[in-house]
A and B are shown apart, each in its own frame.
Chain A
């Protein structure tokens, strides 16, 4: 009788362990490239630094690890990245993106540096 109780009790105790563990949550980042027509790409901070250490220009596509991102594209990202964008008329953007593990969905705006600074200068 005791062993039956022991078995039932242990089964009950085991049920508490059957809860699924929390899953990794990465924040979806939506890229907004303004004005349209610009091409953007991102690279992880580690791959960026690795290129610096190896003497490769980290902003050029010679640095391995760059991935293209499109306007309006939502990517599930976690960690720190470098972002580069270029427009046909010669303007460009260089920036950093940080997606913390606890942060929710976010929008990352990519605009040419000159355009962003223009209103402040006037």
Chain B
């Protein structure tokens, strides 16, 4: 700390502000993540752990790509991540609306894309069955839908969810990295050796 350049005091001031901002942003995201408990896919039951692992991986990747990148490059990455978030969210919501059935008790079932032969003969609504039809066989979708269509439905829900989560984590990570890059660019005039302005 003793051999800091003249701009170091200003630098420390900025980093203190950034710490407060980062802390504020983190606190603001907690209810966001907590509220997702009811929104996340019903399968696998340990999807919360998958999401948590994804957050860590996403944050590390965002840090790896964001560290040292210029402000303009970070802006492009941020746009890419935002697109990923929005596309993932809408894909997930569409799949959730068509494939997830919430029962009275709050339990959620994942329906399939195609009914099995027996169900096709018995129910005209196939494959868009409701709780009334599913109540006829213990609310077990495996007795109404083909196993392949159930697996495809589960995996497509999880894929859309992962796209959304990865995009969201990358947005947060690169937004914070962007603030850091802007700070570096603002501090650049004091040190002409660093060509930061041109992205």
Report A's interface with B, CB cutoff 8 A.
1-3, 5-25, 44-47, 49-50, 53, 77-80, 98, 100-102
Contact = CB atoms under 8 A, between A and B. Distances in A.
A80 B135 contact: yes
Nearest to A21: B45
Interface stretch (B29-37, B83-91, B190-198): B29-37
Nearest to B107: A24
Interface of B: 15, 18-19, 22-23, 25-26, 29-30, 32-34, 36-37, 40, 42, 45, 47-49, 51-52, 55-56, 59, 63, 67, 103-107, 118, 121-122, 134-139, 143, 169, 172-173, 176, 180
Contacts of B30: 12-13, 16
Contacts of B37: 16-17, 19, 21
A64 B69 CA distance: 67
Contacts, number: 122
Given A3-B63, A45-B136, A100-B104, A17 B33 contact: yes
Given A14-B56, A21-B37, 19 more contacts: A6-B59, A7-B59, A10-B26, A10-B59, A10-B169, A13-B26, A13-B30, A17-B34, A17-B37, A17-B40, A18-B49, A24-B107, A25-B107, A45-B136, A78-B138, A79-B135, A98-B135, A101-B103, A102-B104
Provide the main secondary structure of the chain A interface: helix
Nearest to B135: A79
Nearest to B41: A21
B58 to A, nearest CB: 8
Given A9-B22, A80-B135, A19 B121 contact: no
Contacts of B34: 16-17
Nearest to A7: B59
Contacts of A53: 121-122
A49 B133 CA distance: 11
Q: Please name the 3 residue pairs, one residue from A and one from B, whose CB atoms are nearest each other, closest first.
A: A9-B26, A101-B105, A46-B137
Contacts of A21: 37, 40, 42, 45, 47-48
A16 B118 CA distance: 43
A22 B33 contact: no
Contact of A44 (B63, B138, B169, B180): B138
A19 B38 CA distance: 11
A57 B163 CA distance: 51
Nearest to B45: A21
Nearest to A65: B137
A44 B173 CA distance: 52
Contacts of B15: 1-2
A44 B118 CA distance: 14
